[in-house]
Amino acid sequence: MTSFSVVPGAAVSQILGASPKDILRVVTDTYIAHEHGRSVNPDSYFLRFPEKPDARVIALPAYLGGEVDTIGIKWIASFPDNVRQGLPRASATLLLNDYATGYPIACLEAAGISAARTAASAAVAAAALVGDARLRVAVIGAGVIARTILSYLHANGLAISDVLVHDLDATSADHLAGHAEGLGLSARTGTLQHALAADLVVFATTAATPYVPGDTPLRPGQVLLNVSLRDLAPELLLGANNIVDDVEHCLKALTSPHLTEQLTGNRDFVTGTLGGLLLGRFTLDPAKPTVFSPFGLGILDLAVGHHVLQQARAQGSAVEIPDFIGETTRW
């Protein structure tokens, strides 16, 4: 218990890339464990800067029981101005602690883990909501998260007929369309209006306030993955089945579900959680579209990070630091 493991980004990327189906399984199991109450997932904590209002660093502490039985915290920075310099918007680390003693056991580069758990969450929800239907998919926002979501939708076996990409930056849209074609999918760029008509619409933007109007026509059975959380006017949610990852977490921070709660004064519009859906605890109204709004739970980072750590140790790609703990006895 005196040693400490460090898993660098290259090793994390290799493990994630080699086993997307394992990540999908881990994320599915984690949602079910959370639904059964085998987790502790407190509020995220936001560090903001007066001179950089668009930037933030978020701490997501969590504990997950069962086979994972580990404590962890993700520390993730979001600096949108990075994009102008050709850098990814987000960077992250994940610290894991032993549940028996509380001692730190590992630190992992976690930007890829964060993207993978977000994408796997979207793909698990999509598969549960659309079944084996052949889909026209649209992705609104063409960054790292969007790219990873497309990869995980493909890895989860969704029957995708074609992909339409919309982004305010034409170059980013072209890159994501090229990525989709690299997955063997037919892809093109298009307008927001055309994107909103797809069977499965993925929102992966940095929008701070809704820009999709409340009177936007949606179809019965249409599925919207509200991953970026603030794109949709609350009136849209009132006409939809609404699935969240966790009610308390999602209805805050001026997300679209939070704005809907403020508009109505209640939470009656929430149909249920993804864990409940996976367990068959409720049914959806087939006459309505469905919106999945995942706030992003720290337990997902923890579970995926635990999996990556086990694989890295087995492969020898974890860097071990012996005697990391300075004092091992009280006296």
CA 144 to chain CA centroid, nearest Å: 12
Q: Is 15 helix (H, G, I), strand (E, B) or coil?
A: helix
Nearest to 312 by CA among 7, 98, 26, 25: 7
**Tokens standing for 311?**
């694989």
Domain locations in the chain as residue ranges:
4-113+298-321, 126-293
pLDDT string in tens for the chain (331-residue length): 678 999 999 999 999 999 999 999 999 999 999 999 999 999 999 999 999 998 999 999 999 999 999 999 999 999 989 988 988 888 999 999 999 999 999 999 999 999 999 999 999 999 999 988 899 999 999 999 999 999 999 999 999 999 999 999 999 999 999 999 999 999 999 999 999 999 999 999 989 899 999 999 999 999 999 999 999 999 999 999 999 999 999 999 999 999 999 999 999 999 999 999 999 999 999 999 999 999 999 999 999 999 999 999 999 999 999 999 888 888 8
Main-chain phi, psi angles of 112, to 5 degrees:
-65, -40
Residue 302 tokens, joined: 């923890």
- Residue 168's contacts (CB-CB under 8 Å, 6 or more residues apart) are none
Residues 6+ apart with CB under 8 A from 330: none
Q: Return mean pLDDT, the chain.
A: 96
What is the DSSP pairing of strand 290-293 with strand 319-321?
unpaired
Specify the CATH class of 126-293 in words: alpha beta
The three-state DSSP-derived secondary structure of 239-303 is CCEEEECCHHHHCCCCCHHHHHHHHHCCCCCCCEEHHHHHCCCCCCCCCCCEEEECCCCHHHHHH
What is the pTM assigned to this prediction?
Answer: 0.94
In the chain the beta strands, taken as DSSP E runs, fall at: 4-7, 39-40, 45-49, 52-64, 70-78, 90-98, 104-109, 134-140, 159-166, 187-189, 200-203, 223-225, 241-244, 272-273, 290-293, 319-321
What are the structure tokens assigned to 249, written together? 């977490």
Q: Determine contact, residues 285/269, Cβ cutoff 8 Å.
A: no
Could you tell me which residues come within 8 angstroms of residue 14 by beta carbon, excluding any fewer than 6 positions away? 317
pLDDT score at 247: 96
Class of domain 4-113+298-321: alpha beta
Q: Which of 147, 214, 132, 221 is nearest to 180 (CA)?
A: 147
DSSP 8-state secondary structure symbol assigned to residue 172? H
Q: Give the single-character DSSP code of 198.
A: S
Nearest to 185 by CA among 121, 146, 136: 136
